[in-house]
Amino acid sequence: MYRFLFSSKWLGYLLLAAIFATGCVFLGRWQMDRRAETLAEIQRVTSNYSATPISFPEARDQFRQLDPAREWTQVELRGSYDAAGQRIVRNRPLNGQPGYEVVVPFRLASGETVVIDRGWLPIGNNNPGRPDSIPAPPSGQVTAVVRLKHGEPSLQRGAPEGQLASIDLPAYSAELGYPLLTGAYGQLASETPPAAEMPQPFPMPSVEEGTHLSYSLQWFAFGILMFVGFGYAARQQARNAALDAEATGAAGDHGHAAAAARRRPAAARKRKRATAEEEEDAILDAQGY
């Protein structure tokens, strides 16, 4: 009944179904990988974001090369801002609004210098391509609590004077003309004494898992449904072939019956032909004998 499945046409259908299902499995696993990355980020945020700040000596190695598991760790720094080295970073949207981030070198009492991202500013209304105003950092000795973040790659494009295309720490150091710790920078959480005017602080990163799991399950389901559809189509083909065979057989039986019916009257006529004795009796009856 299902021998047609070995035909080239149906083997081609099966191959297409297998290719489609393989693609669905690949996309489903890709969504699962993205979910794993999201869960790891959520774990980092929940573990480090609001934890008790550690001192700079404890975090020095992280500023040289940040362990991904230590991202968002709070660190307490003491030193002073280098206001002359302040820059704004271009193309930094926040909540769907375009703007900038303000980065400033922070020289520690140990003589080392790290970069602090002090917050976000909207695009300006009066000066195209710049914020309307950039708040100055506090002068003198400052105690800042920052959260560790990875530096960013170079975008291989320039920026106007006083601006950066990305938080590319080695390039920023070369522009300043003095060394920075380039393994990480700090995103400002608080500073004492506070400045009279501050950029907008950053919101806490999202700890929502998102839709990666549901998308993954959907892709796996699509792959299974492809084979279900193939099986349904094969069953329908087999049923149609069986119905055609029954119809052909019924037509053949009807033809045989009609031929037999045509043969029966002739046989009957042969059986009704009078015998010689019957003919003589009929002649005698007609003469009155």
pLDDT (tens digit per residue) in 154-180: 887 888 889 999 999 999 999 999 999
Q: Which pLDDT value is given to residue 86? A: 96
Quick check: is 215 in a domain? no
State residue 251's pLDDT score.
63
Is 10 within a domain? no
Q: Is residue 150 part of a domain?
A: yes
Number of structural domains found in the chain: 1
Task: Give the pLDDT score at 284.
Answer: 57
Residue 235 pLDDT > 80, yes or no?
A: yes
Average pLDDT, the chain: 86
Q: pLDDT band for position 267 (50/70/90)?
A: very low
* pLDDT (mean) for 25-43: 89
Model pTM score: 0.69
| Distance separating alpha carbons of residues 125 and 129, to the nearest angstrom | 9
User: Within a domain: residue 71?
Assistant: yes
Whether the pLDDT of residue 119 is over 70: the answer is yes
Query: Could you tell me the residue range of the domain that residue 170 belongs to?
Result: 50-192
Structural domain contains residue 267: no
Query: Is 1 a residue whose pLDDT tops 80?
Result: no
Is residue 138 one of the residues assigned to a domain?
Answer: yes
**Tell me, what's the pLDDT at 244?**
78
- Is residue 238 domain-resident? no
In a domain, 25, yes or no: no
